Copies of this chain bind each other. A is one copy, B any other.
């Protein structure tokens, strides 16, 4: 793997930004960071995840970097770009880790204009815990990494995003349009979180703990959810997500009717299709 530049700035050292710092440092990059919390910077530095870091972005600091990775909530990411575009070095290449694309990608590329190239990427990995102290670059190893270029991206930009995905040892690197990405994520990730949250809030289930099997535990693992981040992600992908929720509720209502009618043939048919589809997802 060729490094286009081995000096990289990561903005936002949460679970994902912190895990990026850890993994890129392991891979030989000189990683610097910005985070609003000085304890986070100190922790990352003392654990060797970064060379150095800052709480506040200045022109002098930013002028050292022409490779930047933003790992912030979507709205904060946009605010940072608006605020700091003037300090960003001419000709920089910027990527991100944001979980939705269409509602931010074009805006950010417009703000940056010809000053810097923004090549969007999404590491489809996570944990149900947060912050730098839970950082673990191993979470990327069995995960997917999606690059979502627009017409404005260059081969050099796409190559940089791919370089990061390879450095972090993602299992699979793909390219999708921002729109395709958001439709896919609405179904595979956002809908599943909606299901887990709905199931977990159906009733006061505390008294059921003693009877719980693995299926309920597996289904609700992601019901432990960062409400600030996911609310932003849901609302910034509203139309795709609502479409998927409707498809799911309709399908579930269909199964409900079969059960209500005692229609065993149609229940079995649906289960056979389910088993057939699930086979593709065995790791």
Q: Interface of A with B (CB < 8 Å)?
A: 124-126, 143-144, 146, 172, 174, 176, 184-185, 187-189, 191-206, 208-225, 227-228, 230-231, 234-235, 238, 241-242, 244-249, 251-256, 259-260, 262, 264, 267-268, 270-275, 277-281, 283
Partner of A146, one of B211, B273, B277: B211
Distance A199 CA – B251 CA, assembled complex (angstroms): 8
CB distance from A162 to the nearest CB of B (A): 15
- Residues from chain B with a CB closer than 8 A to the CB of A176 are 211
The answer to whether B216 and A234 touch across the interface, beta carbons within 8 angstroms, is no
Complex contact B277–A206 (CB within 8 A): yes
Are B209 and A192 neighbours in the complex by a CB distance under 8 Å?
Answer: no
Contacts of A203 in B (CB 8 A): 187, 247
Name the contact of A192 in the complex, choosing from B174, B219, B246, B268 (C-beta under 8 A). Answer: B219
CB-CB nearest in chain B for A191: B199
The distance from the CB of A134 to the nearest CB of chain B, in whole angstroms, is: 15
**Within the assembled complex, what's the spacing in Å between the Cα atoms of A217 and B247?**
19
> A202-B248, A209-B280, A218-B219 known; 16 other A-B pairs, CB under 8 Å?
A124-B212, A125-B213, A144-B211, A187-B202, A188-B208, A188-B213, A191-B199, A194-B259, A198-B248, A200-B274, A223-B274, A224-B278, A227-B275, A228-B268, A231-B267, A238-B260
7 A/B residue pairs, CB under 8 Å, sorted by A:
A188-B211, A196-B215, A198-B254, A199-B251, A223-B278, A231-B268, A235-B259
Q: Contact: A270 with B201, CB < 8 Å?
A: yes
Contact of A259 among B210, B212, B242 (CB under 8 A): B242
Nearest chain B residue, comparing its CB with the CB of A171? B210
Q: Distance (Å) between the CB of A181 and the closest chain B CB? A: 8
A221 proximity list for chain B (CB < 8 A):
215, 218, 278
B residues less than 8 Å from A264 (CB atoms)? 231, 235
Check A210–B278 contact: CB distance below 8 A: no
A213 touches which of B124, B217, B235, B241 (Cβ 8 Å)? B124
Is B189 in contact with A213, judged by CB distance below 8 angstroms?
Answer: yes
Contact B201 A189 (CB under 8 A): no
CB distance from A38 to the nearest CB of B (A): 27
